[in-house]
Structure formats: structure tokens, C-alpha cells
Amino acid sequence: MKQAYAISLSGRVTLNLHSLNNEGGEGNQISTRMVNIIRENGELANVNAVSGDMLKHIQAEHLFHLATDGRDLPLCAGCRLFNANRISADNGYLGSIKGMTDAQAIDLMLERCAMDDIEGNLVTADRSLPRKSILEFGWVVALPEASSTDSYFHVKYASERSEEARKADAAEEQRKANLQQNIFHRPASSGIYAVVANLETARIGYNDISQQYAISDDQRALRYRALLESVLYTFIEPAGAMRSTQNPHILGFEGIVTVSKGAVPAPTVSPLKHDYHKQLAAIIQALEPLQPGRVEMHAFADLAEFTSVMTHLIQESEPFKVQHRRE
């Protein structure tokens, strides 16, 4: 099998009528998250965007479901409940690491929990114990020339049945606000969005302090496959705000997956750049004299081809294993 040191994604996803990026409300108006970016021509643009935190949460939820689906993937007490604090909510772990060195405590974390290994964590009880995430998501940023956000009028009417129930209810004043007409404005965005992500697959199970692997090769391979599967499902079924009535229409997804097979980064180029495909191909070609055959790229034109690329990697590759010389 090929060994993947790192995997990167650069792509453009077309989303219609979504509200994945709401950031709160003021009065009866729900606000859309907007960010400032610099265009290729140097001009400033204000566009709507979905936070990388949102994608990370979606991916983590898919990983959780995979880990609890009969696979041999250990989870700490916190992750078994999908607690956002993860192993920091595992009192058994916190008690066990007292008196341990940081390296020993990280080893125990990696052994006990696949999610803390992959998603990262910062334990702050009694000490600062960081575990850097295996994967990184950038902002999902709308192309200025191909995006729009509109606000739509919504209203809830009190039905005749509700009025009768209101009159019969002894707590009339407490329920009054929920039975009256409620006018509000809900946003929906459509556009082409730039996506970037990096997966440091060689670090699966790797203790950055001791510079040794804390888990077996078989367990690393299981976590690798689950990681790639969870990233794939992130784009097949994205979660987010208001999906019960504004589930996004995913019209298209095209881009490049780069894979490095040695100690060299898998390159990315922001799809905000119109010729990012050519730029990635040129980077890989320029790296060839330095790292012959170590970086490859897989282009995909739609979600089906992306699924095929990821499935191929899941079936035909495994995580790279760093070898350190010992004196």
C-alpha cells in the first residue's frame, strides 16, 4: 500500500439557499457571517463565509458515528457522549495522569481515544497538556463574483385552535408571546465557495513530545480510514444552522486532492485564485527534482468523483510512519 504522509484538499463547492453561517440575531433579524478578503486584483471584498469551526464540528460528528459503529476505535468517557470537552471530561483519565510526565499523559490520551488523537485537545486540569489536531479546515469563503445573500420574510400566525387554547389556559400571560403573530427575517445565501483543508496523516497516534507512536500500526490504519471517511461524509452531508427548513442544495463540488508519500507537505492553493488547478500542478512539477514521485494530485469534477478519489485512498493507502534514528 502507498503511505500518505499528508493529504490536502483545495476545491470549490456550489451551495444554494443555505444558512450554514448564521452568527446570531438582533431583534427579528438573523445575521449572516460576513468576512473581508483581498481579491486577486488587490481589491477588498466583503463576502459571506462558513467558519472552519463549523466544518470541523461536522467532521467530528461523522467520526463519532463511525467510531461507535462497531469499529475497533477506542473513545474516552467524554467522547462516548460526544462531549465537546472530550477527554477533559473523563475523570478516570484525569486521575490517571497525576504524577505522569507530559509525554506519558499524551501517550495515555492517544491510547484511550481516537477522537482526541485526531481532533486534538487541550487539557487544562492541573497542567496545560496540548494535543494538536491532525486536520485543519480553513474558512469556506464565497467567491465575490459568484455569491449573494438575501433576507426572506417569515411569519407565524396564531391559529383558531391556538386562540381557543389560549383562552382556556390559566397561564394566559405566560403563553401570550408564543401565540401571537411573530414576524422575522431569515437569510439564505447562494454561491461558489472556496474550501481548503490539510490532514497530517503521519501524525496519527504520534506523540509530539516523545516523538514516538503510542499505538499499534493496525490501530493507526483503522483511525486513518475513519478520518478519511469522516472528511468525505462532511461534504456529502454538511450540517449547520437551519437545516430543518433550509437544507443546502449542493449543486457542485470540484477541486484537487494532493497526497504526499514522503516527508514533504501536500500542497494547497486557495481556490479563491481562478487558476488554482494550474498552480497546484506547477508546484508539484517544481517539487519533482527535490522529491521525485513523492507528491501526486487527484482532480475531481463533481461530488461523485470526489467520493471515488477518497474511497480509493481509503482502500489503497495507509498512514506514513515516521522513523527516528536512535543514538
Residue 143 is predicted with a pLDDT of: 95
Average pLDDT rounded to a whole number, residues 23-31: 60
Residues whose CB falls within 8 Å of the CB of residue 256, separated by 6 or more in sequence, listed in order: 9, 10, 11, 276, 277, 280, 297, 298, 299, 300
Q: Are 169 and 247 found together in one domain?
A: no
Query: Which conformational region is residue 251 in: left (phi greater than 0), alpha (psi within -120 to 50 degrees), or beta?
Result: alpha
Average pLDDT rounded to a whole number, residues 32-58: 90
Sign of CA dihedral 9, 10, 16, 19: positive
Decide if 81 is inside a domain: no
pLDDT at 92 over 60: yes
The domain tally of the chain equals: 2
Q: Are 36 and 170 found together in one domain?
A: no
Residue 327 is predicted with a pLDDT of: 46
Q: Are 28 and 155 found together in one domain?
A: no
Residue bearing the bigger pLDDT, 76 or 190: 76
Residue 238 is predicted with a pLDDT of: 76
Q: Are 283 and 172 found together in one domain?
A: no
Q: Are 285 and 251 found together in one domain?
A: yes
Q: Are 279 and 177 found together in one domain?
A: no
Residue 107 is predicted with a pLDDT of: 98
pLDDT band at residue 23 using 50, 70 and 90 as cut-offs: low
Residue 156 is predicted with a pLDDT of: 61
pLDDT at 96 over 90: yes
Q: Are 138 and 14 found together in one domain?
A: yes
Q: Please tell me which of 29-38, 115-124, 157-166 the model is most confident about, judged by mean pLDDT.
A: 115-124
Decide if 98 is inside a domain: no
Lowest pLDDT segment from 109-123, 171-185, 240-254: 171-185
Lowest pLDDT segment from 82-91, 171-180, 227-236, 281-290: 171-180
The span from the CA of 193 to the CA of 48, in Å, is 9
Decide if 244 is inside a domain: yes
pLDDT at 326 over 90: no
Q: Are 284 and 311 found together in one domain?
A: yes
Decide if 116 is inside a domain: no
Give percent of the chain with pLDDT exceeding 70: 81
Residue 158 is predicted with a pLDDT of: 53
Full DSSP string of 236-261? HS---TTHHHH--EEEEEEEEEEEES
Decide if 113 is inside a domain: no
Residue 210 is predicted with a pLDDT of: 94
Query: What domain range includes position 209?
Result: 2-72+131-144+189-319
pLDDT band at residue 190 using 50, 70 and 90 as cut-offs: confident
Q: Are 308 and 173 found together in one domain?
A: no
Q: Are 157 and 246 found together in one domain?
A: no
Decide if 47 is inside a domain: yes
Beta bridge partners of 197: 9, 137
SS3 of residue 119 by DSSP = helix
pLDDT at 282 over 80: yes
Q: Are 182 and 312 found together in one domain?
A: no
- Kindly report, residue by residue over 124-176, the tens digit of the pLDDT: 988 899 999 999 999 999 999 987 766 655 666 555 555 555 555 555 555 55
Residue 324 is predicted with a pLDDT of: 72
Decide if 97 is inside a domain: no
pLDDT at 240 over 80: no
Decide if 324 is inside a domain: no
Give rounded-to-5 percent helix, strand, coil for the chain. 35, 30, 30
- Global pTM reads 0.87
In whole numbers, what is the pLDDT of the chain averaged over residues?
A: 87
Residue 150 is predicted with a pLDDT of: 65
The span from the CA of 161 to the CA of 175, in Å, is 14
Q: Are 285 and 154 found together in one domain?
A: no
